[in-house]
Amino acid sequence: MCGIVGYIGNSQAKDVVIKGLKRLEYRGYDSAGIALINGSLSIKKCKGKVSALEKLLSDSEKGSIAIGHTRWATHGEPNDVNSHPHVSSSGKIAVVHNGIIENYNALKLKLQEEGYKFYSETDTEIVAKLIESFIDKNPSIEFVKAVKLALAQINGTYGLAILNSDNPETIFVARKGSPLLIGVGEGEMLIASDASAVAEYTDKVVYLDDGELAIIKKDEYQVINADDVELTKEVHELAMSLEEIEKSGFPFFMLKEIFEQPKTISDSLRGRINVEDGSITLGGITSVMDKLVNAKRIIIAACGTSWHSALVGEYLIEWLAKTPVEVEYASEFRYKDPLIGEGDVLFVISQSGETADTLAALREAKEKGATVLGIVNVVGSTIARETDAGVYLHAGPEIGVASTKAFTGQVTVLALIALSLAQHKGAIDKKSSKKIISALSKIPSQVEEILKQSDQIKEISNLFTYAPNFLYLGRSYSFPVALEGALKLKEISYIHAEGYPAAEMKHGPIALIDDMMPVVVIASTKHTNDKMVSNVEEVKARKGRIIAITSPSNEEVRDLAEFSCMIPETEDVLSPLLSVIPLQLLSYYVAVNRGCDVDQPRNLAKSVTVE
């Protein structure tokens, strides 16, 4: 979704900001813009890519202070006028904004009555004009005071960066519900909505919390809270290398991230399992293990791919630890007035740690007294900071909009949590526990083996590039994988795809099957093998084109399928970690064949920070 970058220091601010905006392209956007101060305020903005914005900038646009924005339209279509920054009537104040101002209509009407003219359809434009209205009423007012008065009238969410040509050495930023951080450099400061935009310049960051306002100069910054109290904020060290946020020779981030999985799964396991004695160490949740052990049920809330890993988590926790689990769409959780309270444990799963619906579910459960735990990738993200405890994935930055390595990281962490809980509850014997841990330790090299089949998967994808529909079928642990395979295909190739529990097919979707329908069958668990064979027969009888993901113990399915991809044998509970890999590759190659922009699919955003 929208991205914000700002710079103040001795370098050319526009170069730093443009580079930062390019780093944020992965978040998804439809237009871009920049505001610079060089004597007066200069604004350039347009619909389209950051490269189009770059072309609008001339060499004369120099200066040591700038803010920039990538916009993902919420209010008003993507066009040049609606792009940020938005300016005040005097042309002295420029604002970029992430989030949604809910009462903008009322504020706009009031300002229009006072004579202010509006040019865009956005909610953001009111911010620049509202600040200016306080200055117009009281010309001697301190600029920051006018900003505070404006913020006090705004309802909704915002990450805001503001420039004022009367304060040419300061960037003003404010946060409520939309992430913002300060990158602290030597004689220079950056601001951004996402650490990847600042990682090239500094490894020191300060995360702003809701209600905070920061006044940033090149050598210092001041953060004040809603009660006007100056705060001493912790400076975090950013563990993000440049290599992690570059394509490193791969044509797309998604492919790089698919191929990174042997390493990212190893990183998720590192220091957490001991194959010799079968023990598990999860420092992040040690303090809440008693609560987990005593919980009558566990609820997991998440969105999208993270919701699919939550479904795998349900199987893992119920099967291994024997604690009942309910999986909720985070976006629906609040609206059912959930029956949750003290004694309950809610896990939220989020790659970005910023998904607005997941954050809202977390806050709802916390308010009702539940223990709230996070399974998050981005260190220091809002969800990571607001949960009572949690486990990080350690998958490194995921830049491709389609989530891949985060899914396998989440399932790995869920397997560790389920096993650890099972051990603490005495729900699993030592021998079985050791067996699963040993199988887990082999997963990275097994993923490596599957990746070696990428040419074969590419050939299969060539045959189905123009199929209008796909069906994905799986049972038990493979059902969430079927959902995930279908989601991957639709989001990056725009082909309609559905994931179904294999036996449910008979209750409706079987009507769709004919000799044009590719049916991807995930048959990689031993305990459902026989039943899967029957389902595959049903598809074959109707001439469906079967692509099977099988393991050596499911030879019958392989023999029935037109195409197949063999994955190594593992424990059934861990099979999603392997069976999802060919599906990621299949969707990637189909999308590339169709000429789609794999890393930035249309209409999608990497981190969905609006509800």
Name the residues that contact ligand F6R, by CB under 6 A: 303-306, 350-352, 355, 358, 402-403, 487, 491, 607-608
Beta carbons within 8 Å of 197's beta carbon, 6+ residues apart: 3, 5, 20, 21, 23, 24, 183, 190
Question: CB-hemisphere CA count at 13 Å for 577?
Answer: 35
- Judged by CB, which is closer to ligand F6R: 305, or 323? 305
Shortest separation between residue 304's beta carbon and ligand F6R, angstroms: 2
Which tokens go with 461? 């994808």
Reduce the DSSP state of residue 174 to 3 states and report it: strand
CA–CA dist 412, 389 (Å, integer): 18
What are the phi and psi torsion angles at 125 (to 5°)? -60, -30
Helices (H) and strands (E) in the chain, counts: 19, 27
Residue number, nearest CB to ligand F6R? 304
The owner of tokens 């309609």 is 496
For helices 304-321 and 405-425, angle between their N-to-C axes, nearest 10 degrees: 20
Give the C-alpha separation, 574 to 553, whole Å. 15
Residue listed under structure tokens 């009031």? 110
Active-site residue list: 2, 606
Q: Measured between alpha carbons, how far is 264 from 450 in angstroms, rounded to an integer?
A: 15
Query: What separation in angstroms does the CA of 51 have from each of 47, 78, 83, 102, 439?
Result: 11, 16, 15, 31, 47
Helix, strand, coil percentages, rounded to 5, for the chain: 40, 20, 35
Residue 266, C-beta contacts closer than 8 angstroms, at least 6 positions apart: 444
Which residue is it, tokens 């189905």?
464
Q: Are strands 171-176 and 158-164 parallel, antiparallel or unpaired?
A: antiparallel
Closer CB to ligand F6R, residue 13 or residue 487?
487
Which CB sits closer to ligand F6R, 377 or 551?
377
Q: Considering the complex, state which of residue 172 and residue 307 has its C-beta at the smaller distance from ligand F6R.
A: 307
Q: Tokens in use for 255?
A: 């492919």
Nearest to ligand F6R of 350, 529 (CB atom): 350
Tokens of 434: 């050791």
Nearest distance in Å: CB 557, ligand F6R: 27
The amino acid present at 588, given as its one-letter code, is Y
Coil vs helix vs strand at 586: helix
Dist. CA 380–CA 195, nearest whole Å: 10
- Taking residue 467's Cβ as centre, other Cβ atoms within 10 Å add up to 17
- Give the nearest distance from C-beta 377 to ligand F6R in angstroms: 8
Shortest Cβ 376–ligand F6R spacing (Å)? 8
Residue in 521, 523, 522 with CA at minimum distance from that of residue 554: 523
Report the alpha-carbon distance of residue 212 to residue 224 in Å, rounded. 6
Smallest separation (angstroms) from ligand F6R to the CB of 350 = 3
- Taking the C-alpha atoms of residue 319 and residue 313, their distance in angstroms, rounded to an integer, is 10
The region, left, alpha or beta by phi > 0 then psi within -120 to 50, assigned to residue 596 is beta
- Calculate the CA 538 to chain-centre distance: 38
| Minimum CB distance to ligand F6R, residue 309 (Å) | 9
Task: Please give the distance of CA 371 from its chain centroid, rounded to a whole number.
Answer: 23
Residue located via tokens 């295909």: 489
Residue 54 beta carbon to ligand F6R: minimum distance, rounded to whole angstroms: 27
